Amino acid sequence: MNELDVATAPLDRRTFMGYFAGAGLGSTLFPGVLWAKVAAGAEITVQTVTAAEELAGLEFNKEQREIIVDDLKQQRNHIQALHKVRLPNEVPPALVFDPVPPGAKLPERRRGQRTVRSRVALREMPASVEELAFEPVTVLSELVRRRRVTPTQLTRMYLERLRRYDPLLKAAVTITEERALRHAAAADAEIARGRYRGPLHGIPWGAKDLLAVRGYRTTWGAAPFREQVIDRDATVVQRLDNAGAVLVAKLSLGELAWGDEWFGGMTRNPWKPEQGSSGSSAGPGSATAAGLVGFSIGSETLGSISSPSTRNGVTGLRPTFGRVPRTGAMALSWSMDKLGPMCRSVEDCALVLDAIHGSDGQDTTVRDLPFTWDARVTPRQLRIGMFEDAFGRDEKQYANKKRDMAALDVLRAQGATLIPLKVPEAPYDAMRMILNVEGAAAFEELTRTGRDRELTRQGKNTWPTVFRAARFVPAVDYINANRLRTLAMQRWFDLFRDIDVIVAPTSSTQLVATNFTGHPAVILPNGFREDGTPVSITFLGKLFGEAELLAVAHAYQSATDWHRRTPKLQLPAKTG
């Protein structure tokens, strides 16, 4: 029986089972073919139900099947009616995820609270502006404020570095030169008149290309959307414009926010260009590490800030779910997507978060809660936990153990008393279906039209396959996965009742767990491998507890110099 015969033959269970067994595909695909025929208008019969039971893990009797047939015919009519309505990616479901358990006490704004930054020694202006390429925002902002360098000088320098090094790194989808020079000139004029907006004024930055920018492509890293133009600025872009920051590039992401491969190639790690920069915030990680931007904005659903921050040796902040508005950003998972800064220091992340957090009246998940950065807070003043079991693993299964142990020693030397804790138990891996189902819904049109074939990555462990498989997750199980998530959220909230910050290995259960519970994290470099590539450690905070979280991470970083090291970029020699 050939493929055409399979598509047109009568729905006979044994015939199909025999075909798939003979093809080596197994019987589990059989119900999927049946439901594909049903969606195409084939008759729904008792045999259809019998086959579908296998995938659902259920078994009904003949009478029950006959009754179900009528309900399924009605359900098909409803589904066909849904398919007639085009749902743009920006339309969220009516259900709103909230990571905060009932009765939880959240931070309150206190009188007299104000931002307190670290003292920054003003460096002398170098002979070449390019020598500032790797300086953090804290240093660049003081040079701009004191008029030692202009926003236009910084902008032209970063634009030139983007043009020079991006052919090697493939970190930029679009260089926004015209917009950048216009905004830089406006910043020059404002500062010359004595109007200084704050620490981001005149600082060039890059946006992960899932953020809409008026007049420029927003490709989502995927070939089906490579010419897409969204006629608006994302809220985060608007807020950084208002802070005076200068957007110089839209940076790459793995297609539809997975990995470091996109339709333009693979984004590279500046420390080891033959290696990918990881993802999905591949461009923000690579460009920030390579000194192509002053800072960047990435996003995380299930590790997309954490992984490229680790690979590229930058400092990433994944804020609490509901801290930063996602309006104008591509939706992958409405209950998990988070936007956050990727920078060269923890304090840079704090300064950027200060500019982008808070409700915009459009993203209904966002809460208006205070964030006040105080660089004076020390580990001695806070209650800090550590995941004893995760740090106690055997070194053979835990390659970064020595460096992580050294990081704990730094914290202890700063007066921290590390309280041993255990990761709350829950079936975190089983909850991954939440992301798969929401992603399949967000990009349903790709699957139903067959345009998923245009995506760069195909086969096992790729979006086309995940989206197709997610069509067969029962709605009941999706809801129950979220109910299990509620239990996990409560357990993590209870864990933080007497703890301000938790330190953990980056590669451990916490990464998946806290992306489901919505807790914030800071990922920062804590050493290098023998091959010269960076590694990281992770700090976790309470819900909306970024101020304390960043303070502990900043204290650790101030006592080390891993974040100050820079890659030595070498362009390939020209031939011919």
Dist CA 131 CA 296 (whole Å): 19
Closest to 324 in 3D by CA, of 315, 337, 334: 337
Residue 512 CB coordination number (10 Å): 17
Residue 408 in contact with residue 386, Cβ under 8 Å?
A: yes
Q: What is the DSSP string of 525-575?
A: EEEE-TTS-EEEEEEEE-TT-HHHHHHHHHHHHHT--GGG------PPPP-
271 Cβ neighbours under 8 A, 6+ residues apart: 289, 312, 313, 532, 533, 534, 567
Residues 6+ apart with CB under 8 A from 38: 44, 48, 72, 76
CB 530 within 8 A of CB 353: no
Q: What is the DSSP string of 141-152?
A: HHHHHTTSS-HH
Taken as a whole, the chain contains a residue count of: 576
Give me the catalytic one of 252, 299, 304, 309: 304
- 348: helix, coil or strand? helix
| Omega before residue 296 within 30° of 0, cis | no
| Cα dihedral sign, 438-444-446-452 | positive
Q: And the tokens for 171? A: 């970190």
On whether the CB atoms of residues 318 and 340 are closer than 8 A, the answer is: yes
* CA pair distance 367, 369, nearest whole angstrom: 6
Which residue is catalytic, options 141, 280, 333, 345? 280
For residues 252 and 350, give the distance between their C-alpha atoms in angstroms, rounded to a whole number.
23
Question: Cα–Cα distance between 261 and 278 in angstroms, integer?
Answer: 9
Which residues neighbour 145 within 8 Å (Cβ) at sequence distance 6 or greater?
191, 196, 199, 201
Structure tokens at 552: 């502990």
Largest CA distance in the chain: 86
The tokens describing 526, both together, are 């804590």
Looking at this protein, which amino acid is placed at residue 192? Answer: A
Q: State the Cα–Cα distance between residues 418 and 387, nearest whole angstrom.
A: 9
**How far is it, in rounded angstroms, from Cα 3 to Cα 497?**
58
User: In this structure, what token pair is assigned to residue 77?
Assistant: 């009519």
DSSP H or E stretch at residue 493: helix 475-495
For residues 354 and 531, the answer to whether their CB atoms sit within 8 Å is no
Closest CA to 141 of 107, 165, 117: 117
Q: Which of 37, 208, 250, 338 is catalytic?
A: 208
| Annotated catalytic residue 280 | yes
Active site residues: 208, 280, 304
